[in-house]
Amino acid sequence: MSNSNDKRLERLSKSNGKNSPDVWGIYDPPTGSAQYVVACPATKKCALVDIVQGFNPKSFATDTIAFDQIVALVKREGYQVEWVLDTHPHADHFTASSMLASHYDVPNAIGSKTRQIAELWRDYYNDPDGLKVDEHYTRLFDDGDTFKIGELDVKVMLSTGHTLGSISYVIGEDCALVHDTLMQPDRGTSRCDFPGGSAAELWDSIQAIFALGDNVRLFIGHDYANDERSDPEWEATVAEHLANNIHVKNGTSREDWIAKREKRDATLPLPDRMLAALQVNLCAGKLPPSESDGNHYLKMPVNRF
């Protein structure tokens, strides 16, 4: 008997009225990723956020299962795609950014500090002339930048810690896509031990997110089954986190949280897709150019981690 964690769930968080988006969460079981279609109810214009390009680390084969699901949802709901957005270069899945931007002929975007992440990974991959982020993303957002999804205002908020270039998208008056900062309240917070990560910075980012207001809906990047529930979840309000987040809530000490986060992170293995994913995701999901035999090849650093 399979549980719902094996299914590619779609769940709608409906608009609360003016200046409030409809947010579809779409779950990717192989990676535990929450992907988003954020839509302006008045105009049916939307943005696609953190969409997965399938990659099997056992066979080293890609697929378009998540891509196809998103395209079908957009068509079914009658949406017009305006943006393809990433919150950061993902370590646990390939991004479908370039595929979707090309499919819909729209701009794709990520945070401007992704350039600095690329500098780190050029060294790890011994690829000094590669990973040119600006060649693969239409827009690199700075902290405080604004843009529109239909009639909805969107503000970019730098949310470092998980990576040095992570950004959150604050949409309308009651929605923020906060990626790998928080988990669900019963799972706590996300790791920050990757190159350029910082527990102290992640604490500060989480506090800035909480300052958005109790009623703001926070949409996270990942969820996984546990003993208490088999259904994945990806939405909770600021108030729910402040009351119930097992790692960081009202009364949590900054020093205690940093110590516990760093101790926990020291026990975690690398994500099984990480070394393959970064060289692809820093190029917006594009594989390296094919070689003389027509195939694509990834570079894997040995004994670097």
Assign residue 242 the CATH number of its domain.
Answer: 3.60.15.10
302 domain-assigned? no
What confidence score (pLDDT) does residue 170 get?
A: 98
Question: How far apart are the C-alpha atoms of 54 and 303, rounded to whole Å?
Answer: 26
> Residue 3's pLDDT is what?
39
Which residue type occupies 22? Answer: D
Instruction: List CB contacts of 259: < 8 A, sequence separation 6 or more.
Output: none
Closest CA to 304 of 268, 274, 263, 267: 274
Q: Which residues contact 149 (CB under 8 A, 6 or more apart)?
A: 21, 38, 39, 40, 45, 46, 47, 82, 83, 171
Spatial distance between the Cα atoms of 33 and 298, rounded to a whole number of angstroms: 23
Question: What is the pLDDT, as a whole number, of residue 6?
Answer: 58
Q: Is residue 66 part of a domain?
A: yes
| Structure-token pair, residue 161 | 């810690």
pLDDT value of position 188: 96
Residue 126 burial (CB count, 10 A): 10
- Confirm whether 284 is domain-assigned: no
The partner residues of 111 in beta bridges, in order of sequence, read: 141
Helices (H), 78-137: 97-104, 114-124
Give the per-residue pLDDT at 166. Answer: 97
Rg over CA atoms, the chain: 18
Pairing assessment for the beta strands 61-63 and 33-39 based on DSSP bridges = unpaired
Residue of 77, 9, 3 lying closest to 234 (CA atoms): 9
CA-to-CA dists, residue 187 to 181, 183, 224, 272, angstroms: 12, 6, 9, 21
- Does a structural domain hold residue 28? yes
- 23 pairs with which residues across the strands? 13, 38
Judge whether 278 lies within some domain.
no
Q: Coil, helix or strand for 74? A: helix
Asked whether 38 and 46 are in contact (CB, 8 A), the reply is yes
- Mean pLDDT per block of 10 residues along the chain (305 residues) reads 60 96 97 97 98 96 97 98 98 96 98 97 95 97 98 98 97 97 96 94 98 98 82 96 97 96 94 95 97 96 91
Domain that holds residue 244: 8-272
Are the C-beta atoms of residues 13 and 23 closer than 8 Å to each other?
Answer: yes
Question: HSE of 28 in the Cβ direction (CA atoms, 13 Å)?
Answer: 28
SS3 category, 111? strand
Would 137 be classed as within a structural domain?
yes
**SS3 assignment, position 259:** helix
- Asked if residue 119 belongs to a domain, the reply is yes
C-alpha–C-alpha distance, residues 297 and 176, integer Å: 37
Residue 278 in tokens: 């970064």
Number of domains in the chain: 1
In sequence order, the β-bridge partners of residue 47 are: 38, 83
Q: Does a structural domain hold residue 3? A: no
Q: Whole-angstrom Cα distance, residue 223 to residue 180?
A: 10
Under 8 Å between Cβ of 155 and 216: no
